[in-house]
Amino acid sequence: MASKPDDMTARLRGRCALLTGATGGLGFAVAERLAAEGCHVIVNGIVPEAGMTEPVARLEAGGAASARYIRADLAEPDRIGDMMAEAAHARGGVDILVNNAVVRHFAPVEDFPVARWNEALAVNLSAPFHAIRLALPGMRARGFGRIVNMASPYGFFAAPNRIEYVTTKTGLLGLTRAVALETAGTDITCNAICPATLPTPAIEARIADMAAERGIPVAEATRLYLAERQPGGRFVSMEAVAALVVFLCGPAGRDITGAALPVDAGWTAS
């Protein structure tokens, strides 16, 4: 018998979801949505533990079966191993893995700091690899797993002064496809979501700087910033991206794997 509409995400209740780079912005928005579905939610970041007391409480109040914070610098593979072991010890294993952590630096190739390049490779690309390789044995043993990698439209095309971001997001799409093929035929999926410009604190700060430099209102700077990217002329909604994650993690997403799904208001179509 077909599942009822309200059953489609009910099976997420009690699943353990680990989200990297999720102390704010898109990562935390996804964490809130998974909490609302009744998951055990583990958020990762590098902010001090004291700064996450209130956000973790908010996740619990929002419906999470439980919520906790694991501080780990994902540029260090040993800390990734510690994080995955701690998550497995707490909840028996990670059922849903959302690789969201990212670093960015803007500079031409010839001026790009080597340390920044190495950091980007470690956090943006190697960290998802390590988290996936450590999560997969448990997923296979339990017969269920959902891996969502947060990529970008810049995984499909390039732009100046973003060498590390373009390179790592393109690589993340390849990682997604390879893992999807290795888990094909199971109830483990691996997909990439490619959101366009979101109203994150980092983007809003960049727009504020642009407004100050040009002596124009923030609203006008926002319009100009988005006009260069998204034909829709508006920010992509973090709630829409979070809803897509939930859909992919539910039973209806079982046969969607290896996909790179743009949420970009038509950017990649232009």
Structure tokens given for 114:
């080597």
pLDDT tens per residue, range 52-102: 999 999 999 999 999 999 999 999 999 999 999 999 988 889 999 999 999
State how far the Cα of 53 lies from the Cα of 75, in Å rounded to an integer. 24
Residue 186 in contact with residue 254, Cβ under 8 Å?
no
Q: How confident is the model at residue 3 (pLDDT cuts 50, 70, 90)?
A: very low
DSSP string, 158-205: --TTBHHHHHHHHHHHHHHHHHHHHTTTTTEEEEEEEE-----HHHHH
- Known catalytic residue: 165? yes
pLDDT tens per residue, range 231-267: 878 899 999 999 999 999 999 999 999 999 999 988 8
Q: What pLDDT sits at residue 201?
A: 84
C-beta contacts of 179-182 below 8 A and 24+ residues apart: 179/132, 179/136, 179/147, 180/257, 180/258, 180/259, 181/258
Which spans in 38-97 are helix H?
Answer: 53-61, 77-91
Domains of the chain in sequence order: 11-196+236-262 (3.40.50.720), 197-235 (no CATH)
What percentage of residues in the chain have a pLDDT greater than 90? Answer: 86
Q: What pLDDT sits at residue 227?
A: 87
Q: How confident is the model at residue 21 (pLDDT cuts 50, 70, 90)?
A: very high
Q: Which of 69, 154, 165, 225 is catalytic?
A: 165
Q: Is the pLDDT of residue 5 over 80?
A: no
pLDDT tens per residue, range 159-204: 999 999 999 999 999 999 999 999 999 999 999 999 999 988 888 9
Q: How confident is the model at residue 1 (pLDDT cuts 50, 70, 90)?
A: very low
Least confident of 1-5, 152-156, 205-209, 218-222: 1-5
Q: What pLDDT sits at residue 91?
A: 83
- Say if residue 113 is exposed, middle or buried (CB neighbours under 10 Å; 0-12, 13-18, 19+): exposed
